Amino acid sequence: MGHDAAAPAFRPADRLDAVAILVLLACCACWGINQATIKIANAGISPILQAGLRSVFAGLLVFAWARLRGVELFKRDGTLWAGLLTGLVFSIEFLFFYVGLDHTQASRGIIFIYLSPFVVAFGAHFLIPGDRLTVPKVLGLAAAFIGLAVAMGESFAAPGRPTLVGDLMCLMAAVLWGATTVLIRITALKTAAPEKTLLYQLLVSAVIMPPISVAMGEPGIVDLSQPVLLAFAYTVVLVAFVSYIAWFWLVRNYPPTRVTAFTFLSPVFGVIAGNLMLGEAFTPSLAVALVLIAFGIYLVNRPAARP
């Protein structure tokens, strides 16, 4: 009863503050090179099995972290069915994404997965009070996506194998990512601890992914070289544990449309990391892309004019 009585007092913020922006930037930087690490790990661990094992190890980390912080994971709070549903959607999302990246170029996969903010924006418009689409938000999302396309456009000119199947799978993953974000805000999960929300998703995917891997005849673990292990550890610890807890905290406490607009920065961080770590060129198109994405994020997040 005490929990139920306190729940109505929870009220998400109506805009992003400095803390939210810093956490978002850190998440985007973390995700910026995630596609590359998945592809590196795919060379030694089959995609679907890798997604399942990632959820197993990240789930253990989240459970330990929640117990350390005293988060009540098993308290009855009406989130079970919503948690299982989002866990299923989360699992299917990563099934499509991991397999899709194995059938397309990383740069193409990035383009399609970051269509997710559009899914969130339209879903939030109809389902989440106070997160309506406005002309500036639509223009901002469009500007950010054009910037993303400019940043990634050069890689489209490179020769490569047919990518239609992988492209479509990454597009489906984007739709499911957006659906998960909206589901969290329209179900009982909107008041759950971020650790509990994440654990639902990791546990469901940890249970169903390995059997799917076996059923689809994946070879499994074929190479545990140092690059494969380091790439896999990165996806477990930094992505599936640290950044996802931060992400679900953001989605719970701030308007989803404003939060997801920042994700357009993730692939740009990936390109910047390539420049700093691998000596890849910082091209004029990347500079143009950064300006467009920054302008788009500004439009999505600027305060609405008061009548």
Asked if the structure places residue 306 within a domain, the reply is: no
How many Å apart are CA 133 and CA 118, to the nearest integer?
Answer: 10
Q: pLDDT tens digits, residue range 54-87?
A: 999 999 999 999 999 888 888 888 899 999 999 9
pLDDT at residue 57 in the model: 96
pLDDT at residue 202 in the model: 94
pLDDT at residue 174 in the model: 87
Asked if the structure places residue 1 within a domain, the reply is: no
| Domains in the chain, number | 1
Please check the confidence at residue 215 and state whether its pLDDT lies above 50: yes
pLDDT, average across residues 132-145: 81
pLDDT at residue 261 in the model: 80
Q: What residues pair up with 221 in beta bridges, in sequence order?
A: 45
Read off the pLDDT band of 2 (50, 70, 90): very low
Asked if the structure places residue 117 within a domain, the reply is: yes
φ/ψ of 158, rounded to 5, equals: -75, 140
Asked if the structure places residue 218 within a domain, the reply is: yes
Distances (CA, A) of 178 to 6, 119, 148, 297: 29, 5, 18, 17
Taking 3-state DSSP, the helix, strand and coil percentages for the chain, each rounded to the nearest 5, stand at 75, 0, 20
Asked if the structure places residue 227 within a domain, the reply is: yes
Q: pLDDT tens digits, residue range 91-128?
A: 999 889 888 877 776 666 776 777 788 888 888 888 88
Residue 173 vs residue 129, higher pLDDT: 173
Read off the pLDDT band of 275 (50, 70, 90): low
Mean predicted lDDT score pLDDT of the chain:
81
pLDDT at residue 3 in the model: 41
Against a cut of 0.85, is the pTM above it? Answer: no
- Domain hosting 269: range is 16-301
* Weakest-pLDDT range from 6-10, 140-144, 165-169: 6-10
pLDDT, average across residues 279-285: 63
Considering the chain, what percentage of its residues have pLDDT values greater than 90? 33
pLDDT, average across residues 268-287: 65
Packing angle of the helix pair 34-42, 80-101 (nearest 10 deg): 70
Are 140 and 296 contacting, i.e. CB atoms less than 8 angstroms apart?
A: yes
Asked if the structure places residue 20 within a domain, the reply is: yes
pLDDT at residue 213 in the model: 92
Are 207 and 152 contacting, i.e. CB atoms less than 8 angstroms apart?
A: no
Asked if the structure places residue 7 within a domain, the reply is: no
How deeply is 96 buried, as exposed, middle or buried, from its count of CB atoms within 10 A (0-12, 13-18, 19+)? buried
* DSSP secondary structure letters along 239-296: IIIIIHHHHHHHHHHS-HHHHHHGGGHHHHHHHHHHHHHH-----HHHHHHHHHHHHH
Are 241 and 62 contacting, i.e. CB atoms less than 8 angstroms apart?
A: yes
pLDDT at residue 262 in the model: 83
Q: pLDDT tens digits, residue range 191-211?
A: 888 899 999 999 999 999 999
pLDDT at residue 307 in the model: 41
How many Å apart are CA 69 and CA 72, to the nearest integer?
Answer: 9
Asked if the structure places residue 307 within a domain, the reply is: no
How many Å apart are CA 123 and CA 256, to the nearest integer?
Answer: 10
Which residue has 């380091």 as its token pair?
230
Number of Cβ within 10 Å of residue 57's Cβ equals: 18
